């Protein structure tokens, strides 16, 4: 109890900074509007709730996309249950809105006991399913006090995080004592949770939900349409989810590539919406003929750089390319890479930088299958892209190898669903 009091006091101090960051106006970021009150537990009652309410917490866009097939499968198994999805961010809310026919969205309250109590009193959930390792002490404690069963989905625990928890074992014990199930992505994740003292009856290995990617024919068709619009029969490569400091490296590689492959088009997709305009201006300043997707300008066949400045359309953008470089991997230890499974599921040859510790197992599986190449710098990106563009057979073999890794590892959704039900 003392630990929770201390935590709540610390939260009170840092909450204004967190809330300011959350509400800060940014280009292309949806507004919270009058719904800001939900972050403090003033949650609207559910529309036509059933006697059994399940609550999925998915934080933001990535987690919501990963959880979507599971939420659909859960609804198919139990259409009589009311499903509530909470996200912290407005971009996550925008993604959750795509499930409005089967689930209702609410914003996740800040982790104050009073806000969580008010939320649970209004929603009255029987179970909460939390994507990945979003562990908030007051949320877990209040949920347990109200007999809400807690399951962590798609759980992962890096070696670094495990060591941190071991240094503050009492804090981890405070979190874990309220959890009924931890469904882990890998054996390594499970072993780390067990090393922290979690009961082995609570820990299960289900694989990663992210392998269970079902790409709709609509998305594939939209990717092909975009390809015709921006490139027709020109070669295209995409750099997905760039962070500050990576765009310059990528554009340098593209400049070298254009000298040998003049018709080549680069799609570049910044990770954060507030950087869309910045990356567009950088591309223009470096002399590239550039256009933003949202500009609604006709895409001339002399365009060299296409800025993907939308949210939730990454699959479509990757589908329009021949090769995908996954960013977040060129900025040292800051980010740790992003998920390569989306380009792999689209049978695209994958490239990434040397920092991919957040997706170590997935990346190493793709490397071993010759579906992914590590590029340490601009020159290595240039060499890898040139090699693949100039060798269509190699390009096809690499993309097929990447897809095979996705297909071999599918099944997490059904395993996860069996534990939830």
276 neighbors 309 (Cβ within 8 angstroms): yes
What is the average pLDDT value for the chain, to the nearest integer?
91
pLDDT tens column, 260-270:
999 999 999 99
Residue range(s) in the chain whose domain bears CATH number 3.40.50.2000: 217-408
How far apart are alpha carbons 166 and 162 in whole angstroms?
6
Of 63, 132, 246, 342, the catalytic one is 63
Q: Which residue, 339, 327, 329, 319, is CA-closest to 66?
A: 339
How far apart are alpha carbons 59 and 108 in whole angstroms?
8
pLDDT tens column, 389-412:
999 999 999 999 999 999 998 899
Confidence band for 190, pLDDT divided at 50, 70 and 90 = very high
315 neighbors 210 (Cβ within 8 angstroms): no
pLDDT value at position 214?
80
- For residue 95, the tally of other CB atoms under 10 A from its CB is 23
5 phi/psi in degrees, rounded to 5: -65, -45
Fold of 217-408: Rossmann fold (3.40.50)
For the purposes of burial, counting CB atoms within 10 Å of the CB of 101, is it exposed (0-12), middle (13-18) or buried (19 or more)?
A: exposed
Confidence band for 44, pLDDT divided at 50, 70 and 90 = very high
How far apart are alpha carbons 102 and 75 in whole angstroms?
7
| DSSP structure class, residue 293 | G
pLDDT tens column, 48-58:
999 999 999 99
Give Cα 92 distance to the centre of its chain.
10
Q: Which residue, 330, 316, 339, is CA-closest to 380?
A: 330
Q: Is 63 a known active-site residue?
A: yes
179 neighbors 157 (Cβ within 8 angstroms): no
How far apart are alpha carbons 402 and 365 in whole angstroms?
9
182 neighbors 198 (Cβ within 8 angstroms): yes
| DSSP structure class, residue 119 | H
- Summarize the confidence of residues 10-25 as an average pLDDT: 78
Confidence band for 29, pLDDT divided at 50, 70 and 90 = low
Confidence band for 26, pLDDT divided at 50, 70 and 90 = low
Tokens 């933003």, residue?
A: 292
First to last CA, the chain: 32
pLDDT tens column, 158-179:
888 899 889 889 888 888 889 9
Tokens 């609570």, residue?
A: 202
pLDDT at 28 over 60: no
pLDDT tens column, 298-355:
788 889 999 999 988 999 999 999 999 999 999 876 788 888 999 999 999 999 999 9
Q: Which residue, 110, 84, 94, is CA-closest to 62?
A: 94
Q: What is the 3-state secondary structure (H, E, C) of 37-71?
A: HHHHCCCCCCCCCCCCEEEEEEECHHHHHHHHHHH
Residue range(s) in the chain whose domain bears CATH number 3.40.50.11720: 27-212+411-420
Question: What is the DSSP secondary-structure string of 363-405?
Answer: HHHHHHTTSEEE--SHHHHHHHHHHHHH-HHHHHHHHHHHHHH
CATH assignment of 27-212+411-420?
A: 3.40.50.11720
Residues 6+ apart with CB under 8 A from 340: 324, 326, 350, 352, 359, 362, 363, 366, 372, 402
């Amino acid at each position: 109890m003392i630990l929770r009091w201390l935590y709540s006091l610390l939260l009170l101090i840092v909450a204004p900074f967190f809330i300011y960051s959350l509400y800060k106006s940014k280009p292309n970021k949806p507004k919270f509007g009058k719904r800001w009150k939900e972050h403090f537990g003033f949650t609207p009652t559910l529309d036509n709730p059933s006697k059994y309410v399940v609550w999925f917490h998915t934080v933001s866009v990535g987690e919501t996309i990963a959880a979507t097939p599971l939420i659909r499968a859960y609804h198919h198994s139990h259409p009589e249950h009311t499903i509530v999805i909470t996200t912290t961010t407005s971009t996550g809310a925008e993604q959750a809105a795509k499930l409005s026919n089967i689930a209702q969205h609410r914003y996740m309250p800040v982790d104050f006991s009073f806000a969580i109590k008010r939320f649970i009193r209004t929603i009255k959930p029987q179970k909460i399913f939390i994507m990945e390792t979003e562990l908030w002490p007051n949320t877990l404690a209040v949920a347990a006090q109200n007999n809400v069963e807690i399951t962590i989905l798609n759980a992962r625990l890096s070696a670094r995080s495990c060591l941190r928890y071991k240094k503050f074992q009492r804090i981890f014990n405070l979190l874990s004592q309220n959890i009924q199930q931890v469904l882990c992505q890998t054996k390594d994740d499970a072993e780390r949770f067990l090393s922290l003292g979690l009961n082995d009856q609570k820990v299960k290995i289900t694989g990663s939900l992210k392998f269970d990617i079902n790409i709709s024919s609509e998305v594939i068709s939209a990717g092909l349409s975009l390809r015709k619009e921006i490139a027709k029969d020109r070669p295209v490569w995409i750099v997905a989810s760039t962070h500050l400091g990576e765009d310059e490296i990528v554009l340098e590689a593209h400049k070298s590539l254009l000298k040998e492959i003049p018709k080549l088009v680069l799609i570049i997709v910044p990770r954060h919406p507030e950087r869309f305009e910045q990356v567009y201006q950088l591309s223009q300043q470096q002399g590239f003929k550039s256009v933003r997707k949202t500009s609604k300008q006709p895409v001339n066949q002399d365009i060299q750089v296409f800025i993907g400045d939308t949210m939730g359309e990454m699959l479509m953008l990757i589908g329009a390319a021949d090769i995908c470089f996954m960013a977040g991997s060129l900025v040292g230890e800051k980010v740790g890479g992003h998920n390569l499974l989306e380009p792999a599921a689209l049978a695209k040859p994958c490239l990434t930088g040397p920092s991919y510790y957040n997706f170590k197992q997935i990346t190493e599986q793709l490397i071993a299958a010759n579906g992914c190449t590590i590029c340490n710098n601009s020159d290595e990106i240039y060499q890898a892209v040139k090699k693949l563009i100039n060798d269509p057979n190699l390009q096809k073999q690499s993309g097929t190898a990447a897809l095979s890794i996705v297909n071999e590892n599918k099944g997490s959704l059904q395993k996860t669903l069996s534990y939830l039900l």
